């Protein structure tokens, strides 16, 4: 498993193949767009989709927390996909089980557009919920990617992906981190979210998540 090490706003940051970033000095794991309970929401609407995506995502979150020894989890919006998923008995039981494994973990949710519709998580999950922007110097935490002059912005929302082409004309779209001078956009942490193809601009850096590795993709690759 290979992380990518970068510096943002003077801070050492690790971009993780678990689709999150780790801020060592603050012992903070930062993720965006978990969209918990999305499959349950679809099933509640009569759309037959497989179960188990929330459990798989929580297992990946467990792996990232264990590997980094993070003491804080900062979620950049869209913890839940919709109210139907938030109140689904299976989703709530799975989240309670997971929270019981991490009783000392400090969790902050910066509300995103889906959170405003789904509502805040149950109180027994002990998640502190705030509206954007949240200031954790030198970073500004928000869901929707809008750069600001007061600090370096960390955001999600767009589920960025990059299309890579191979010599045999094969094409694959992979989740990616998009870093610019004043802002970093994280990939969607949730596995049942889809990707939006992005085109990095001059000066941007893009890092794709290729299974267990985070790899920088330079112009012309």
Confidence of residue 40 (pLDDT cuts 50, 70, 90): very low
Confidence of residue 48 (pLDDT cuts 50, 70, 90): very low
| All residues at 6 or more sequence positions from 6 whose CB lies less than 8 Å from its CB, including other chains | 12, 13, 15, 179, 205, 207
Task: Please report whether residue 171 resides in a domain.
Answer: no
User: What is the tally of structural domains in the chain?
Assistant: 1
Confidence of residue 1 (pLDDT cuts 50, 70, 90): confident
Task: Please report whether residue 191 resides in a domain.
Answer: no
Cβ-contact 148, 161 below 8 angstroms: no
What's CA 173's distance to the chain center, in Å?
Answer: 17
Cβ-contact 110, 132 below 8 angstroms: yes
Task: Please report whether residue 10 resides in a domain.
Answer: yes
Task: Please report whether residue 69 resides in a domain.
Answer: yes
Confidence of residue 202 (pLDDT cuts 50, 70, 90): very high
**Pick from 142-151, 153-162, 164-173: least confident:** 164-173
Task: Please report whether residue 12 resides in a domain.
Answer: yes
pTM of the predicted model as reported, rounded to 2 decimal places: 0.89
User: Is pLDDT above 90 for 159?
Assistant: yes
d(CA 69, CA 165): 36
Task: Please report whether residue 95 resides in a domain.
Answer: yes
Closest by Cα among 132, 151, 152 to 142 = 132
Instruction: Measure the CA angle with vertex 51, ends 97 and 113; round to 5°.
Output: 75
User: Is pLDDT above 50 for 37?
Assistant: yes
User: Is pLDDT above 60 for 29?
Assistant: yes
- Per-residue pLDDT tens over the stretch 98-136: 999 999 999 999 999 877 888 898 899 999 999 999 999
Residue 115: per-residue pLDDT: 79
In which domain, by residue range, is 81 found?
A: 4-157
Average pLDDT over residues 7-15: 98
User: Is pLDDT above 90 for 75?
Assistant: yes
Task: Please report whether residue 15 resides in a domain.
Answer: yes
Query: Residue 124: which CATH number?
Result: 3.60.21
Average pLDDT over residues 28-57: 65
d(CA 181, CA 204): 7
Task: Please report whether residue 197 resides in a domain.
Answer: no
Confidence of residue 43 (pLDDT cuts 50, 70, 90): very low
What's CA 13's distance to the chain center, in Å?
Answer: 15
Average pLDDT over residues 1-15: 97
User: Is pLDDT above 50 for 42?
Assistant: no
Phi-psi region of 117 (alpha: psi -120 to 50; beta: other; left: phi over 0): alpha
User: Is pLDDT above 60 for 83?
Assistant: no
Residue 88: per-residue pLDDT: 59
């Amino acid at each position: 498993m290979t992380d990518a090490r970068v510096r943002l706003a003077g801070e050492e940051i690790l971009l993780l193949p678990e689709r999150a970033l780790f801020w060592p000095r603050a012992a903070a794991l930062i993720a965006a767009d978990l969209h918990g309970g999305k499959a349950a929401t679809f099933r509640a609407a009569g759309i037959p989709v497989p179960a188990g995506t929330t459990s798989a995502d929580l297992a990946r979150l467990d792996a990232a927390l264990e590997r980094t020894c993070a003491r804080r989890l900062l979620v950049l919006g869209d913890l839940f996909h919709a109210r139907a998923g938030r109140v689904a008995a299976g989703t709530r039981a799975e989240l309670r089980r997971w929270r019981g494994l991490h009783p000392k973990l400090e969790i902050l949710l910066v509300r995103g557009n889906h959170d405003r519709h789904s509502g805040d998580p149950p109180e027994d999950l002990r998640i502190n919920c705030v509206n954007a922007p949240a200031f954790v110097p030198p970073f500004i935490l928000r869901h929707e990617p809008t750069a600001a002059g007061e600090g370096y912005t960390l955001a999600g929302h767009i589920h960025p992906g990059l299309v890579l082409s191979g010599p045999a004309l094969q094409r694959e779209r992979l989740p990616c981190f998009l870093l610019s001078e004043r802002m970093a956009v994280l990939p969607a942490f949730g596995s049942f979210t889809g990707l939006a193809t992005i085109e990095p601009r001059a000066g941007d850096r893009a890092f794709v998540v290729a299974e267990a590795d985070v790899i920088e993709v330079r112009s012309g690759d």
